[in-house]
Amino acid sequence: MGGLIEDVLDALKKRYIEINGLKPFDTAMVSEKGRYYLADLNDNLIIPMKDKHRLEFSKGAGHELKYKMRALRSSSAMAFNLIGNGTVEIIDNNFFSKGMYTVDYEKAYNTIKQSSRKAHLDAYLYSKDNKEAIFCEMKMLEWLESPGRLSCSYLDEKKYNYSESYPVFLSVFDKIISTKTDKGYKSIFKSYDAFQILKHSMSIYNAFRENKMPETRKATLVNCIWELCSTERLSEKTIKKYKNKYDVHNREFDEFRAAFEPIIVLFKEIGIEFEVILLPFHEFVGTISKTNAEREKLERYYL
C-alpha cells in the first residue's frame, strides 16, 4: 500500500499549498518523509492552539507536539483542525444532539488490569445540557494500512476490571479473532481496526463504571476517517487501489457493527445509550459550527 499512500500524500501536499501558500517543510529529517512534514507545527493548524490543549497533546501517547502533528497526514492535527479549541457548537445533524460541548484531547482510560498502556482517545466532547458524550478516534491515512493485533491479555478473565464485561467482550473478540501468532491475535479483517475500537469501548465502559465521567445518558464512539471526495487529483491506478481498500474497509465495519451488538446491551445495562459509528471527515465537519475562514482552511483536506 506504500504507493497508494505516497500518491495520496503528494496530492494532499499540493492541495495544502493551494490553500495555504508555500510554507517551509522539514529539511532536517534524514528520511525523505520530511517532505510531508511542516517545519513549524503552527503551519499545520488552521487556528492557534490554546495552552490547555497543548498540554493535553504533550501528555498524549505519541508525543504529538514534538513531531507527529507536523505531518500532513497527522490524525491528531486533523482532529484539532476539525474540532477546535475549548468549547464547540454542534449544529443540526443526524448523529449528535445540537448544543455546546466542552473539548478535551488525548483522553486516556484504563483497559485491562496490570497494563501500563491506557487507551488514548483523540478527542472527547461533552454536553452538560444534553448529558451527551462524543468520543473520537480519528484515522487519516492509517485505515489504508493493515490493522493491529490483539494481546492475549484481553482474553484473560482475571485481567478485567469488571466481571460482567468479560463474557461480553470475549464473545465479540471470538467473532473477530483469526489466528494466534507470537505477537498476538490477528483479526479476520484486512482493513478495519476492530481491536482498537473494542479497546476504546472497554476503556469507556470502565471509566463509566469507575464513576470518572460526568452524568451521561448518550455516548457515541466516532471512528472518523478521512476520505477522498473526488477522483480529479489522482491517477486511475491510484483511484482503483483506493476504491478497493475503501470498499473492504466499509464492508468490514458493517460486519464489525453487527458483532458489536452485545456491547451496546452492556452499556444499556448501566443506563447509557451507546453507539459506535464510522463517520467520514467531511460529514463530521458538517456537524460543527465553523467560521467561513476556518472552513476555507479545512479545504486542504478535500481531494
Q: Which residues pair with 136 in a beta bridge?
A: 123, 222
Mean pLDDT calculated for residue range 60-67: 70
Instruction: Name the CA radius of gyration of the chain, rounded.
Output: 19
Residues 6+ apart with CB under 8 A from 87: 100, 101, 102, 103
Phi, psi torsion values for 29, nearest 5 degrees = -65, 140
Q: Is the pLDDT of residue 109 over 80?
A: yes
Residues 6+ apart with CB under 8 A from 273: 217, 218, 219, 267
Alpha carbon distance 103, 85 (integer Å): 7
**pLDDT for residue 253:** 98
Residues in the chain: 303
Mean pLDDT calculated for residue range 23-35: 83
| Pairing verdict, β 87-90 and 218-225 | unpaired
Alpha carbon distance 73, 280 (integer Å): 15
Mean pLDDT calculated for residue range 262-278: 98
**pLDDT for residue 17:** 97
Provide the percentage of residues in the chain whose pLDDT is more than 90. Answer: 85
DSSP readout, 201-253?
HHHHHHHHHTT-S---SEEEEEEEE-----SSSS-HHHHHHHHHHHHHHHHHH
Q: What is the mean pLDDT of the chain?
A: 93
**pLDDT for residue 1:** 45
Count of domains forming the chain: 1
Phi, psi torsion values for 286, nearest 5 degrees = -70, -10
76 residue type, one letter: S
CB 95 within 8 A of CB 295: no
Alpha carbon distance 249, 190 (integer Å): 8
pLDDT tens figures, 180-199: 887 789 999 999 999 999 99
Alpha carbon distance 7, 114 (integer Å): 42
Per-position b or e across 252-281, b if 16+ CB within 10 A of its CB = bbeebbebbeebbebbeeeebebebbbbeb
Q: Is the pLDDT of residue 62 over 60?
A: no
Provide the residue range defining the domain that includes 275: 2-301
